[in-house]
Every structure is written in C-alpha cells, then in structure tokens.
Amino acid sequence: MIEQVPLNHALIVTTMMFFIGVYGFLTRKNLITMLISIELMLNAVNLNFVFFDKYLYPGTLEGHFFSLFIIAIAAAEAAVAIAIFINLYRNIRSIDVEEVDKMKY
Amino acid sequence: MNILIAHIAVPAITTLVMMFARTQKQVRAVAASGMTLQLLLSLILLYLFLQERAAGNEAVVLFTQSYFWYPSLGISFDIGVDGIAVAMILLTSIVIFTGIFASWEVEKLYKEFFISLIVLATGVYGFFVSLDLFVLFLFFELAVIPMYLLIGIWGSGPKEYAAMKLTLMLMGGSALLVVGILGVYFTADVEGLRTFNILALGQQHVPIEMQRIFFPMLFIGFGVIGALFPFHTWSPDGHSSAPTAVSMLHAGVLMKLGGYGCLKVAIFLLPEAANEMSWIFLILTSISVIYGALATVVQTDLKYINAYSSVSHCGLVLFAILMLNKTSSTGAVLQMISHGLMTALFFALIGMLYSRTKTRIITEMGGLMKVLPFLSVCYVIGGLASLGLPGLSGFVAEMTIFVGAFEHEDLFHRVATIIAVSSIVVTAVYILRVVGMLLMGPIKSEAYNNFPKAKWFEKIATISLITGILVIGLTPLWLSNMIRDSLGLIVDKLVLK
Amino acid sequence: MSFQYTIWILLLPFIAFVINGLGSGKIPGKISGWIATIAIGISTFLSYRTAFQYFTSSSREQVIAVKTTWLRFNDTLQIDLGILLDPISVMMLVVITTVSLVVFLYSQGYMKNESGYDRYFAFLSLFSFSMLGLVVATNLFQMYMFWELVGISSYLLIGFYYDKPTAVAAAKKAFIVTRFADLGFLIGILMVSFYAGTFDFEVLTRPESLQFSTAATFMGLSTITWALLLIFMGGAGKSAMFPLHIWLPDAMEGPTPVSALIHAATMVVAGVFLVARLFPLYYAYAPTALEVVAFIGAFTTLFAAVIACTQYDIKRVLAFSTMSQIGYMMLALGVSGYEGADGLGYTASLFHLFTHAFFKALLFLGAGAIIHAVHTNDIREMGGLRKHQPITHILFLIACLAIAGIPPFAGFFSKDEILSAVFANHPIYFGIAALVAGLTAFYMFRLYFIVFWGKATKYDQVPHESPAILLIPMILLAIGSTLAGFIPFGQFISSDGLPLASQINWPIAITSVILALTGIGIAWKFYKVESTSPDKVAKSFGTLYTSATKKFYIDELYILITKGIIFRLVAKPLAWFDRNVIDAFMNLLAATTNWISVQIREFQSGQVQKYAIIFISGVLIIVLSYIYVNR
Amino acid sequence: METSAILFYTIATIMIVFSLLAVTASKILRAAVFLLFALGGTAGIYFMVDYFFLAAVQLIVYAGGIVVLIIFSILLTSHIEEKMQKPDIWKIILTSIIGFAGATMSIHVITNHVFTPHADTGVVASMDVIGEKLMNYGDSGYVLPFEVISILLLAAMVGAIVVAKRNKPGSND
C-alpha cells in the first residue's frame, strides 16, 4: 500500500517531525511541553525504524519490534518523567525548566 | 626481613598501633618509641652499609629487593640504597625523631597529628629507598599530601592560604614530574619490555631532542620542592604557618627530595641535556642563593628568616648539583644533610621560643640569652653552623661545593661561583643580626624572667640535632667518601665539555 | 727527633674549652679559670720546648709533626689537619702561648667580679686553640678553618658583655667586616689551589716546584696575582688594614685582657703571618701583589698614627696604634726581597711582630689596670696617676719607650730593621715610616703624660695600685719588652731559611731615635702640665684635625654603604620584590585559574535547554564535518 | 497519483502541521491535544505499512496512555486557561537555525543517498508471527528484550510511584 511513496519522501517527513521536536524541546519552558516534544521525536524515530524495515529489509520485522519496544520504553519514561514533574511542582511550585537549576556547579 | 622494608614498615606499624592509643601520653609514647626504633634502624643500616663497602661490595646499590607490581608496564617495587640514600635516610630519621619530641605538647587532635606526621615520614623513606620511578613518584606524593592537612589543621596564621599555596605549587611541580617521568619512560630506546627502574633506564639512552624537553620538566618539577627561584614562594608562607614539627620535617627533609631527585633522576637519566642546559638553571640558582640571603636580611619574623635562608641554602644545593662534577655533587649532598639538620634545629628552637614569648617578631624580643641560656646557646650553634663555621657541618658542605664549583675554568662558571660564594658574607650578616637582636642586648620584658627553662624533651630534640651537626662537622671524611663513591655512576655519564 | 707531642699544645686549650663550655654554670668560676690557665700553661711550656728543640737543631726545614686527612675533595685536593713546624710557626707558638698565659693569669684578677667567668675562660681557651691551630696549619685550608674559628672567638669575646648593645654591635661589625675579607681569602684559596693542585704549604712555599701558567690574565694582572691579592684581602681584614680596619677600634668594647690578647698581640697579626707564610709565592709570582701590600701597609700606618694622635679613649688610642704598627709590619713585608740580605724586610717584619706582641700586650694590660682603678676609658678624666699607681706607671713607661723605639727596649731593634729595609727600597716609604716613628712616640707619650702626669684629677674613689695578680703578668711582659730586642732574630727567621746576620744600621737608628725623642719632647711640652697649646695646634690643622678625630669618616662611609645602599636599596626592595612581584605572580596565576573556572562554570548553568543546544550543535558540527570529509 | 500516495501525503501533512502546532501552541492543553493528532497520524501510517498490531499499540499506549497521562499532569500543575509565556526571540531564532540546519543536512543526506530496496518476501506481521517472535529465544527471537522491557516497566512503575508519592509529614526524605 505504501510502495507508491518513495522512501526518500517518507524519511523527509520523519526528519521534519524530528526537528520540530528538537525545536520544541529547545524553546519550550514548561517541562510538560518539553516532554511532548520528546514524544514527537521518539515518534519520528519509530517511524524511521518502520520505514527502513518495510522498504529495505522487508520480512524480518526488526523495525517493527524495535518500535514496539520503544513505545514501551516511552511509556515508562513518560510515567517517570511525569512523576518527577509532579514532585518538582510540589516542591518549588513550578515546572519551569529555567527554575530547575539546583544541580548546577 | 630486608632492612629497607623495615624502614617503611616501622612507621606504618607505628601509625597502626597509634590508632589504638587513647590518651595523649600513650600516643606520644608510641610515636617516640617507634621513631627511636627507626633511628636505631637507620644507624644499623649505616653500619651495615659501611660494613659491606669495607668488605669490598662494589654493587651500585645494596640491600636490593624487587617485587613486581604491574609487570606488563614494567612497574615493580624495587628498593635498594646507595651511599647518598643511606645518608638521606639517616637525616630523615634524626629529623623525624626530633620532630616527635619537638611536638611533644601538641594538644589539638594529637593522635591525628602524629599519624599524619609519620605517614609523611613514611613517604620520605619510600622515596629514598625506591629504585623505580613510578614507586618513587608514588612515595613523593605520599610525602607531600599530608602536608596539606598538617598545615591546614594544626598551622597558625593564614594557615588555609599557606596550605593551599604550598600544596598547589608542589602539585604543579608534580604535574611536570609525571610528564617528565613518562617522557623518559616512553622515549628511552629500549629493547623489549619498558621499565621504570632507574638503574635500567640509566643504561638506556634517551634521544637528545627528547632530553631537551624532559630535562627542564624534571628539573623544575623537583626544583619546585627544592625552592628553585622563582618557584620558592611557597616556602616562606608554608613554613611560617606550619606547626613546628612540620616545618622541621618539611625544610629539613622534604625540600631535600628536590635536590635528591634532580641529582638522581633528572641529571642521571638525562645527562646530555643536563650538560647542555645547566647554564640556564645555574643562573637561576645563583640568583636563588644570593637573593634568598639578601631577602633574609630584612625579615623580622623568625620563621620567615629561616624560610628565606633555606631558599638560599637549598639554592646552593641545586647550584652545586648543576656544576655537574663529583666534588660539587658531594658537596650538594653534604649541604642537603647539613641544611636539614640546621634548619630542623632552627625551626625546633623557634617553636620552643614561640611557646614562651608568644611572638616570632625579632624586634619584639631581646636578651633571651640571659633567661633561656640553653636554648640560646643552641640557637647560636645553629647560627654558626649556618654561616659556615669550621667544625660544624655547614662549613664542610659549603667548602666542598665551592671547591667543586671552582673546577670549571670558564668565566661564566667563575662568576656564578663567586656570586654564590659571596652569600657567605650575607649569611653572616643575617645570622648575626638575629643573634644580636634576639638573644643579646638587654632583656626586653620583665615577664621573661618567669620563662620555664628548657624541658627534657626539648633538650633531647636539640641535642640530637646538634650532635648530628657536630659529628659531620668534626669528622666529615667517612660521610664525604660514602657519598662520593656513590656518585661515580651519575657523574661518569656526564660528558664534560 | 719527634715533635709528636706538639699536638698537645693545641689539644690542651681545646680540652679546657670543652670542659668549661659543657660545664658552664656547674663548675665554680675560680676552678674553671684555673683549668684554662693550667692548660695554657702546659701548652706554653711545650711551646718553649718545641722552640728550643727546633732551633737548636741545625736545619730550618719544615717539619710535619702531625698530619691526618680530614676531608677529601677530589683526587688531588684534600684538607689535612696537622702541625707544620718551621721557624715562623714555632716563633708564633711561643708568642701566642706566652701572651695567652700572661693574659689568662691577668684575667684571673681582672674578671674576678664578672658574671660568666666560666664562659669567658671557655672562649679564651677556644681562641688560643684556634690561633695556635692557625699558625701551625699545614695547608691553606686548615689555616682558613682556624682563621674562621679565630674570627668567631673574637666575635664571642667582643660580645662578652652581651647585654650591652654597643658590645653586640661591635662584635657583629668585627665579624662581618672580617668575614667580608675572608670571602676574598676563600676565593683566593680556591684560585690558588685550582692552579697549584694543592693546598699544602710544603708545596706552596717552594714556588720552584709549582707550575703556574701566568698567561691567564684578568684586567691586566695574572690570575695568580689576583688570587694572592684576594688572599691578602683576607689578611688585611684580620689585620685591620685600611680600608677594612673599621672593626678594630669598636672591638675595644670587649674586656680589656681580650683586647690585649686578640686585638693587639695575636689575632690581628694573623694577616702579617699569612703574607709571611706565603711570602715565597708572593715574591716569585706576584711582585705586584707585594707592592700592594707595601702600599696598603704604608698608608695604614700613617693613617692610623694620625688618628691615634686625636683620640681620647685610652683603648682606642692603643687600637689605632696597633693598626699603625701592623701597617709597619706589612710595609716591611711588602718591600722585602727574598734571598740573603734582601730578605731583611721579612725578618724585620716578623721581628717587629714578635716584639710588638710584648709591649702592646703590656700597654693594654696597663690600660686595663688603669681602667680598673678609675672606671673610665676617657683619658681626659684621668691625670696624675703616677702617684696612685707607681708600679703600673713604671711598666707603662717601659712599654711606651719600647713602642717609641728608644734603645735598649725591644721596639728599637725591630723598628730599626724595618726602617733599614724600607730605606733600601723606596725613599717615600722611608719618609712615611720615619714620620710614623715620630708620630708613634708623640701619641704614646701624649697618652702617657695625660694619664700619669697632667692635672691632678679629683677622683670619686681614690685609685689604688693593682693587686699582684694583675701586676705579675705585666711585669713578665715588661721583662719581655725590655729584653726581646736582644734576641738575634735573623739567626732564626729569614725569608730563605738561611741565617741572616743583622746589624744595627746606625745612621738610620740615630735618625729614628731622634725622631722619637722629638715626638716625646713635643708630647712633654704639650701634655706634661695642662696647657692650651695642643688646642691651638689642633686648630691650626683645621679640618685635618676634625676629620682625624672622626676617623676620617670611614665609619660613616661604611654605614652609608651597608645601611643606606645594601640594606635599604638592595635588600629591602628585594624582599618587596619577592612578596609583591614573584609571589604576586604566583598568586596571580592562582587567581587567573580561579577566574577562568568561574567563567567556565557558566556553561554548567543547570539550564537543560542550554545543554541541549550545545549538545545538538555539537552533534551537527561533528556530522557536518564528517560529511565534508567523506564527500 | 495513486490513492495510497495521496493518503500518505495527506497524513504526512496532518502530522507535520499538528507537530508544529504542538510545539508552538500557547496553551498547554492544546499542545497535548495537537500531540494526540500527530500520534494518531503516525498510527495511520502504521496501518498503511500493514503493521496493524503496532498501530494498535500506538493508539492504545500513546494516544490512550501517554497523552492522557500528560493531560492529567497538566491539570495537576497548571491552569487550563493559562497562557504560557513566549520564549524569547533570540532563543527562537537560534533554535530555528539549529533545527533548519539539522533538517537540511539530514534531508540532504537522505536525498543524495541511493537506497537499495529489497523485494517483499511476503511475511506479514500477523498476530501469530508477532507472538512467536516475541516468545522465541532462538535466532531472531525477542524474548530477552521482551523480558528486559518488562522489568524496566516494573522498575519505572515503582520508581514513578516512589518519586511522586507525597511525603508523610515529619519524614525527612
């Protein structure tokens, strides 16, 4: 079904998505929106795996499983991240990334 | 058991035993007995060494022992001593022995104090016995690090500043040393396994281009602790802030690691560069000698006076080493020992006087000869040794150096020598100035009459140091021969121009 | 014929020093004094025995009585400690032990009420030991060692009253000035030994056996000349030759017997002895250096004599007189030749050294007796003492006659020899020497008349004659001063070792006696009774007189150089430089490191996004460069 | 153009647009919702490549789990109406430059690289194939990562609870 689309185009889409994620990660101040950006990046990477799997090494399903595992890890990561955010919010009443610099020096 | 290993083991065991001591009395007793044992061991070592030599044992180093630590890198725990090392070990034993007695009344954290002091001494012993550059460096660091604690915790005045300064400058020297040692290790043209063994490295040849790079590094690296101008500034601050025993040990022994290292590592392993570049350092050391002496003349703090005069005297050590011949190098080692004893005596006495007068500024004191005759006479003897009175150790050392330095006929060496020689006048000036202001003249204050007389442990400390000074001063021949015989290997490598 | 026992001449005073030094405070003063005196007494006896034994044997060879290696420098140079006996060292042994014994005895009485009696005798014994070691040295370096020891014992004795600031300052000054001179001595020794390959006098006094390359020159003089000049500098320092004389007048702060022993009879002539010891070397290789010796000697003798005429401190007058007389000896050495009759100057110089020791010691001891009685050093506060101290008066008069060169006293003979030797060399030097002979007579009798005649001063406490313990030593010296001149000195001591038959050169002798009598006459006229004529004469000399009383401002010059220039302009700035430049540079290094790390620390801001920006930029740059490279 | 291609480009456009909106939206809840759309678009693409299971997981875990989690946490930490302050302009410019540079570089590499596609072997990611592979410990079996992930999830769960747990009053940590 996807075969009509050249791999290059598919990859360009994921690349754009990835760098949008990067942009978000670097500009957003709110930690939760930064997490959103990270999810975008992960998503782009997942797509890449799937595309490579489908176009270049069909049948092995390696990309498929990789994506599967990444989704699992992303879930775990999001859970921990949000736990940290909440704890942080409880402590300093803010989840602004610029105020979280207690660990400097 | 090998007697050299015993030299490292006794202090180590002493510290261990000390951990279980509770009261100040017990700690002192353990420390004193341990170091007395150590002094006896060193005397036995000297006896055995002379015995072996008399029996015709011509080996370069005696009492050797070798344990591999890390064979693939050629690191092994090699120990052995030649005449120079034996002399230095004996010096160390005397100084640490007296140091224990000089710090008899330390109240604050006494257990930790003695432990650090003896750990420091352990490092020094290890340095003198090891034949492996890596191990040598390890012990060198072991000797330098406790200094930070000793000055930082038990010091006086701006002690944190002084401790930091001293440690940082010595560490800077160490950094150069590491590079230099590794440089020699990697560039020596060796077949098969590389080695850190000094004697083995001595038989290998380092390319001259590499020597030119690594010689200054090693020389300055060791020179920093030997108070080479202009890297001497840690000495006045460090010594004036350090507690008595630490000043004694540091000026008496640790500064000697510099001269010893310069001679047995820098010059021995890199002889051609030494020949080529000695003039640069000769200029620096000549400056050191006269500059230290002149700077002493105007100081008013007793410890500063002694620190600057140490700069001058240790400059003379390096100066003599750089003359690169047997006579002057013998003189250098003699000067190290002589200065070690003298300066330890001075610092001990300064500590004892300070505990009574509560000041170290000479203009605030006077007439001590009347109230503290014993300590004053000891101070005068130390002063006379320092200004090179015949019959005391300083004379022997200085004259050997000067005769050695005069073996060079060219104008440059002549001028450098004459500059160095002229320091004896300046030395006389500052010694007599101190003696005149501090000990002579009318008694400065009524309170002086209530000063306690010298206590027994103070007497032990000063008398043992003065005995050393007198023995060397009156019968120098055996010592000078012992040192001289060990220098052959080093000096023969120096191709004289 | 063995001279082994001579070692005890040295060891006995040393043992006395050790006993008195270690037992300080434990041995009662009286006993410590006797220990030292007995030790030096035995030494004296042994010295006389040595002298007898040595001079009765026909040869005047050098004898090495004892010798042991003390320190070896390299394959050729080594320091031996030993005893070298030759005419001059044996003569010096006699002089030193005799004067020492006399002074030790005298001190028993003189120092009776001082505290630190044991310390005094310890130092005095140390001095005798070092001085004896100096004269019997077998080599230059041994001589240098004892030279230094002599210096330090002099320091200790001048500073004997260590709670008196002037004494401390004087001691310090004496040591430092001589130390400075010794610097020259040491460098000279090093140079000589480098070229000669030995320190031994056995070799050095036989110049024919040495090979000096005279080719090497520095500033127009050969290196060996420089070396010998530097050695002479050492001698000049100890012997208080101009311009290194400034310590000697101040050294009079010490106890008077010390001044008699050290600063009149023995230590200060060490310089003369040194030049005499190396005389063959000077003569053979460095005639220029000898000319310098003669010049310095001539200048000092006149210089000191002029100053002596203006001083009012009894001991300072004697000190300048000592300088003047040593200048005389130096002058004689400097003009001396080597062989046969040419060597008269050498003999004369040492003869004068010998006789001078007696009468100058006597003068000092006499001065001590006077000071003891009147408790002041200032001659203006004395007068008419001949009534109070008749014996001292006679003894002092003998000494004055001896130093003035009136026959038949000792000074006459030796001075006559010097004058003949100088006359043979150079008329200007002779003129100076003759003038000084007159001046000497004048200032000595000025002293004599003021003190013993003059106005009858009122004393708080009537001065009384000294006790026998002070008088007996002085009488011994007076005998020496009277008779020493009759010793046929040239028979024993001459530059080339062969007996020198010296006769009195009558024309010169008569001249000098006339000059001396003139001097005495003027002094008699001026000072026998109080008169205003001295002041008038002094006024007519104007600045010359005032500068002479101020010792020609040499002290001030020295203070300017040491305090003003070396201390203030060199040492102080140097110490400042060390603290504020070198140390500051090290601190700057540390501060810079600190500053850089503070700056770098900003990277570690804790701002995650900044880290991320840097991280991503880094990755981009790496990838970009990778692409670029693999294009 | 084939329908499938049209479908793909449509989904791609949706995805990119919503991604952009997600990172620029000034209200945080909207950003989460836009993220949901972008993730949904991804699931659509998974359907297009016939990975139905993956698509299902994507929808359940991402859209159903993570986004809900995010929204909850937003509700816990912010006001819904609260507008986020704009990032300062320099930051935006700098980041845009970095983003553009990165994207350009990557796209440059992608377009210039010649991929060699392999023919489809006809293996379908059906449930039984997936299950077999996940539980297989032989070649091309994923039982080890599977187990590791499961432990990781457990650990994350415990960790999240511990971190987020409200401290008892009076206790120090």
- pLDDT single digits (tens) B284-342: 898 888 888 888 888 888 888 888 888 889 889 999 888 888 888 889 999 999 999 99
Chain C interface with D: residues with Cβ < 8 Å: 609, 613, 616-617, 620, 623-624, 627
Mean pLDDT, all residues of chain D: 84
Q: Total structural domains in chain B?
A: 1
Contact list in D for residue C627 (CB cut-off 8 A) is: 105, 109
Which of D39, D54, D130, D161 to mutate to probe the A interface, most A CBs <10 Å? D54
Retrieve residue D24's tokens.
Answer: 């620029």
Amino acid at C487: I
Peptide bond into B230 cis (omega under 30): yes
Query: Dihedrals φ, ψ of C134, to 5°?
Result: -60, -45
Q: Is the peptide bond before B390 cis (omega within 30 degrees of 0)?
A: no
- CA pair distance D29, D50, nearest whole angstrom: 32
What distance in Å separates residue C618's CA from the closest CA in chain A?
14
Over residues C142-182, the pLDDT tens digits come to: 888 899 888 888 888 888 888 888 888 888 888 888 888 88
Q: Looking at the domain A2-93, which fold is it?
A: Helix Hairpins (1.10.287)
Average of per-residue pLDDT across B258-263: 88
- Residue pair B162/B242 in contact by the 8 Å Cβ criterion: yes
Residues from C in contact with A at Cβ < 8 Å: 601, 604-609, 612-613, 616
Instruction: Tell whether D90 is within 8 A of chain A (Cβ).
Output: no
Which residues of chain C have a CB within 8 Å of the CB of D95? 613
**Tokens (6 digits) for C216:** 């090497």
> In terms of C-beta density within 10 A (0-12 exposed, 13-18 middle, 19 or more buried), how is residue A102 classed?
exposed
The yes-or-no verdict on residue B349 having pLDDT over 70 is yes
If you measure CA to CA, which chain D residue comes closest to C613? D95
pLDDT for D1 beyond 70: no
- Assess whether chains D and B touch, using the rule of 3 or more C-beta pairs within 8 angstroms: no
Is the Cα torsion angle D2, D3, D9, D12 positive or negative in sign?
A: negative
Name the token pair of C156: 């200790």
Cβ atoms of B238 and B145 within 8 Å: the answer is: no
Output the pLDDT for position A13.
92
Domain extents in chain D: 1-102, 123-166
Give the model's pLDDT for residue D173: 47
* Preferred mutation among D7, D53, D61, D66 to probe A, highest tally of A CBs within 10 A: D66
Q: Are the Cβ atoms of D105 and C613 closer than 8 angstroms?
A: no
Q: What is the band of B144 on the pLDDT scale with cuts at 50, 70, 90?
A: confident
In angstroms, the first-to-last Cα distance of chain D is 63
Kindly indicate whether the ipTM for this predicted assembly is greater than 0.85, answering yes or no: no
List C residues 111-150 in contact with B (Cβ-Cβ < 8 A): 141, 144-146, 148-149
Chain C residue at shortest CA distance from A104? C606
Does residue D171 surpass a pLDDT of 60? Answer: no
Q: Where are the alpha helices (H) located in C140-164, listed in sequence order?
A: 140-158
Which residues on chain C are in Cβ contact (under 8 Å) with D91? 609
Residues 6+ apart with CB under 8 A from B22: none
- Residue stretches of chain C with pLDDT short of 50: none
- Between CA B419 and CA B413 the distance in angstroms is 10
Tokens at B358, concatenated = 């509560």
Mutate to test the interface with C, among D90, D92, D95, D108 (most CBs of C within 10 A): D95
Residue B497 has pLDDT above 50, yes or no: no
Measured between alpha carbons, how far is B186 from B214 in angstroms, rounded to an integer?
A: 11
The CA-atom distances, in angstroms, between C423 and each of B461, C430, D76 are 63, 5, 123
Question: A76 contacts in D (CB within 8 Å)?
Answer: 152-153, 155-157
- Please answer yes or no on whether A26 and C608 come within 8 Å at the CB atom: no
* Residue-level pLDDT at A42: 92
Instruction: Give the residue on C whose Cα is nearest the Cα of B370.
Output: C163
Indicate whether A17 pLDDT > 90. yes
Q: What angle do CA B375, B377, B382 make, to 5 degrees?
A: 95
Question: Residue B56: which domain range?
Answer: 3-496
φ/ψ (deg, to 5) at B108: -80, 120
> What does the mean pLDDT of chain B come to?
86
Query: Are D117 and A59 within 8 A, CB to CB?
Result: no
End-to-end CA distance of chain B: 45
Chains B and A touch, contact meaning at least 3 pairs of CB atoms under 8 angstroms apart: no
Is residue C64 within 8 A of residue C110, CB to CB? The reply is no
Q: What is the pLDDT of residues D64-120, one digit of tens each?
A: 888 888 888 888 887 766 777 777 888 888 889 988 999 998 888 888 888 887 776
Angstrom distance (rounded) from CA B135 to CA B185? 13
DSSP state letters, C9-71 = HHHHHHHHHHHHHHTTTTS-HHHHHHHHHHHHHHHHHHHHHHHHHHHHSS----EEEEEEEEE
The model carries a pTM of 0.82
Neighbouring chains of D at 3+ CB pairs within 8 Å?
Answer: A, C
- In this complex, which of C74, C148, C583 lies closest to B389 when CB atoms are compared? C148
**Residue D162 predicted with pLDDT over 80:** yes
User: Which pLDDT belongs to residue C424?
Assistant: 79
Arithmetic mean of pLDDT over chain A: 86
CATH topology of domain D1-102: Four Helix Bundle (Hemerythrin (Met), subunit A) (1.20.120)
Pairing of strands C221-222, C217-218: antiparallel
Backbone angles phi, psi at C586, to 5 degrees: -65, -40
Please, what is the angle between helix B24-54 and helix B110-129, to 10°?
10
Distance from CA of A11 to the nearest CA of D (A): 7
Mutation choice for C interface testing from A23, A26, A34, A100 by most C CBs within 10 A? A26
* pLDDT at res. D169: 57
